[in-house]
Structure formats: structure tokens, C-alpha cells
Structure 1
């Protein structure tokens, strides 16, 4: 991969962090985003800004996509000025977004139509974890394409799990996100109980975090809850709501009961009602505080 440009489509919280690790490693990154400010940020980090996805595809053999939804992904693939207009023979597209299994399959079919191979490779972790290089990749798809993608993924993830056939990555990500939703809500509930019991939340995070009651969400979001810092989001309530809808649809399609997940989604809906859509998902602690009259 040394010296060969990598393409990035989507330079938001996740895309900017992931591409930033490649730039820090000396890898040229050709980037595009519909937001001018994000394009300017990419240039400021040392990346090359392209006019459209087609220009990105013309200059890179591996292109990473990090996008907010299925419509955005399909548009960058074969919309006006899309990847299809510039794809080199053998192009590999590493699709890291959290979308439905159906949307991922449609994207793979669209890519195949113009000679590219799309890998289903969502990543697990918050925006801060992305900046820290603490993401985990759930890689699935065509074996030869996965081998070409591995060096790129290794630059911005701490682990890459090869899950086999296309689509398994998204299925794994939805399972992981169910746990994130539940564990985040559980951390908020436990910390509110501790606060109302007169315990020091710093001490709670240290002691509980060192025992059997710990979780990744307690470690990552617990400090934000304790400090009441929700404005600078590493993952917004809006994103959580989008992901929760995907989880609910996935579980319903398999007739798999999700009582704890269903209970936790009420808190995220309450966060929306409290005008917290752009806040970090740690704000469910604030939601519970308000319910408790604080």
C-alpha cells in the first residue's frame, strides 16, 4: 500500500478520523465530501480534495466509503459524477457505513455492474475511538478483495475480523449495536442511582469499571455522563436513532425478541423529545436526571 493513494468518500466524524490515520502514516488520500467545510478540513490535514467521487475512483485502487445512509451510498456509486464514471479495473470499495443488509446488497450489485467489488465492512466504535485508532472492522465479502483491503484497514482499526461471506459484517454490526444501545442506557441508569445515593461518580467509574459490572460503554461514555458533557458528540442521538431502527427491522425480520433493547429505545426517543438530537448518546444520563426531577 505504501505510496499508493487510497480514496475516501465521506469525510465526517468517522471518515475524517479514519483517513487521518492513513495521512499520518504517509499514505496519500484522495477525498470527497458534499460538505465544503469537510473538504477544507481534509485539505488542512494534508489530503488531496477531489471534485467528485469519479475523480477519487480514477486515482485510487481502494476506495473507502463512510456515509450517513443508503441514498448517499447509492448516489456516490452510480449517480452523477459517481464512482462508476471513474472506476479503474479491479476497484475495491470498502463500505464502512452502518446500513441495512438490503442496502448493502444493492450497493454491491451496483458496484458489480461497473466492474468494482464492494466489501461489506462496517466498523465498531465511536468518533473518539476512531480518532484514537480504536475501531474494530467487521470484514465480509470476496476473498481477493479482502486481501487488498487489509493493509488499508490496518492503518485505522486495531482489529479486523474476517466474517466470511458478504453481508455477515453488517449482521455482526447490528448485533454489536444492540449491545451498545442497551449498555449505554444501563450505564446511565447505574450512574444516576449512584449519584442519588451520594456516591462520587469518579469513584464509581474507577471501582465499578474495575469489576464485573464494567462495560465498554461505561468506560467510553461514563466519564461524559459524570461530567454532563454531551454537546461535543462522538456519536449523536440522531445516528443512534437511525441505527436503532435498523436493529429493530433486522430483529423483526428474524422474529427474534428484543425486550431489553426495546426498553432502552424509549430513552433515546425521550432524548429526541428533549431536543437532544445532536447531542452525544451519553445524554441519556441527562434524560434520566430530568425524569428524576433533577
Structure 2
């Protein structure tokens, strides 16, 4: 793996965090203060994370402004327009939260989010992420390789794939009242893709915990694939022998394949993938094969027809 120098984040691109969180203040008031003092404080979306180390997995490109990253999203659980997640995701309750690890594993477990945060040292990794709709962004994500979690549960020899299942709760996620997809949201990776060191179990961005609209409290980031492969607000990770059917495959099998690698030579059924627009920029740029991660991941697909296995 090549080692890149991380770009410097201009202070003008980082939104000031000058508001206190109501729940934390409530816990510090009245009779609740005694109990709160005896318990380790839970971390909430938007809070700064300490002890994060810089990673060698960084692309040397200008970061996308924080405002763009947090206000222009696809998260259909909160609506289908790009502004809907930022406007409606406040209904999501990210504490308490747990993830069930099940299926073809020797040690199935349920991890609460605070335990996951302490499972391995958190790293800041500057990754590109590209949407199938031909826009892209460069974000300093916070997390650690998914392999750190996988080795805790010891997959069996039957585990060929990993399925990710997001929360289903149409009160917290009002977009689920729409039939745009069959809920809950599901995605999947082949085992070698899931165990690749670039596949990031992600808890934050820009030095702080994930905002709700970006997939709080835990998501996957798979930087060489289109963004919809990076499941958000995950509650179940299931190891399977058979290839899982992901939500977008189910909704449009002619438009969304299982692999969904960024490939400028394979167009979407309704538009070209040859060019992309970086959020915050006007001009379009050429799309890179595997989103620029060819050296790191091309060997995973040796001998495969990437137009057939799109």
C-alpha cells in the first residue's frame, strides 16, 4: 500500500462547534447529576473524538468543505432529496445502539456502540467517495479497518460474503414510509472485499462523531465502490455462504450490480460514469478506475469481466 501525505485542513472549512448538547446538559442537572457522575459519558453525534491517529491511507487532495459533506447526502431513510437527511435526521436516536454479528461465525456477538469505539485505535483516513449519480467528495473519515471487528467473531469456512443491515424504524426514519426501497436497507461485500484494509468501519468525520445524516452512529466506507455500497446506521452484520441481495440490486437489477466498483467504462443505464463533479466545484473531472484505488484493489478482480460483474 502506498503511503500518502495527508492534506492540511483549512480552518475555514471546518464548521465551529460552539453549541452544547442538550442531553449532556440535562444529565448534569438535578438528581441526574449524581448518576451521571458514576457512569462513563456516552458520546453523541457531533462530539469531538480524542486520541485519533493519522493513517497512511490518505489521498493527497483538497478536502470537500464540511458543510457540503453534511448537507448534500443520499440517505433515503430520511427522504429522497439531497437536503432531506440534514433536515430530517434529527429524529434518529443513536444512543443506546448495538450491532448484532451473526451467521457463519464461530463467536456470534452483540456489541454496543461504546465497545465498538474502543475495539481498535481510531484512525483518520482521507478517502474519496463517489456517488453513482456522478458526484464525489474527499472526506477525513474516522474509524478502523473492518477486519478488526471480523477477527473478533471468527468467521467459519462457509463465510463467503458479509451482509450489512441498517436500522428499520419508520418513526425515527420517516423516509421508510415510502416504498422507494424495500426496508431495511441491505448491502453486501465479498469476504475478501470486507477484509481489505481499506474497508473502514466508520464512526466519524472531520474529527468528530458522525452526524445523523451521514450514517450515525456507525457505517461502512468502501472507497473504491460507489457510495451506496457503504451502508449507514448499521444494526446487523451477517456472514453468509450465499451472495446477499442488496437493496439497490433488488430495486433495479439492470442498473445496480452486486460489485458496484467505480468503473468509468461501465455506464449506469441512464447516464454516463465517465465524468464526475466534486462537491463544491463547478467543472467536471474524469472518473478514475476503482475511484483511484487501482493499485490497492485491482487484484481482487483478476480474471473477472467487470462489465458483466458490474
TM-score, normalization by structure 1: 0.26
- Structure with higher RCO (Cα < 8 A, 6+ apart): 2
Q: Report which of the two has the higher share of strand.
A: 2
TM-score, normalisation: structure 2? 0.26
Question: Which structure shows the higher helix fraction?
Answer: 1
